[in-house]
Structure 1
């Protein structure tokens, strides 16, 4: 998966915006202001593509046991975030998209009813 494909897929999710809140190289995708994906553009350009995604803690453990390319979130809560090392070639685009969906859904699930209703009306 290329960074443009990741970006396009994330932005296709309802209510999603992109920004650089931390620095000029960390691309962050948010749904109604809540982060669900982060990617370092510098690492992608260097051939070390990775993306941080939110995940259910139990599901995170299962993913980490099954895939060497999925590890505890780099610079994130190790319990609630995973880093997918895309450059290692183990993870297929279909799985990456599924995990983006899971991250997005986890963030939406944690929103207030008012925010979820706002998202549905978009």
Structure 2
């Protein structure tokens, strides 16, 4: 990994997400993060830079691409439903963590209820 901390922010956040796991189905140059076998994040440097690829709601992805030059459509993924985060320092750590969490929750909310490791509507909210 290069000096940019982008991928490390993403990895650190995944460690806090219940049911998330790391796989390498595309070889050693791709870190694929899944819940119940479904992908929510990919890390790679095959493009020549350490990138993070995440699920995003289409309207959120569009807004993020307009606001941040370091966010582009998903590399090798459906461009409406995935975004790519590029290194370079314009993406705050908290934003990266929030985008990883959102990608995870987008996947979890589409799992059958019995397979969900968390309730996507309540995850991250503190009890009253």
Structure 1 residues 120 and 99: alpha-carbon distance in aligned structure 2, compared to 1, 3 A threshold:
closer
CA contact (8 A) 2:40 2:54 kept: yes
Q: 5 Å matches for 1:29-108?
A: 29-41=33-45, 48-85=49-86, 87-108=87-108
Distance 1:34 1:54 in 2: 11
Deviation at 1:5, TM superposition (A): 4.0
Q: How many residues align?
A: 115
Structure 1 residues 72 and 5: alpha-carbon distance in aligned structure 2, compared to 1, 3 A threshold:
closer
Q: Is 1:9 matched with 2:13?
A: yes
Larger helix proportion of the pair: 1
Moved over 4 A (4+): none
CA contact (8 A) 1:11 1:18 kept: no
Match of 2:115?
115
Normalised TM-score (structure 1): 0.85
Normalised TM-score (structure 2): 0.82
* Corresponding residue SS for 2:54: strand
Q: Any unmatched runs of 5+ in structure 1?
A: none
Deviation at 1:41, TM superposition (A): 4.8
Alignment root-mean-square deviation, CA? 1.8
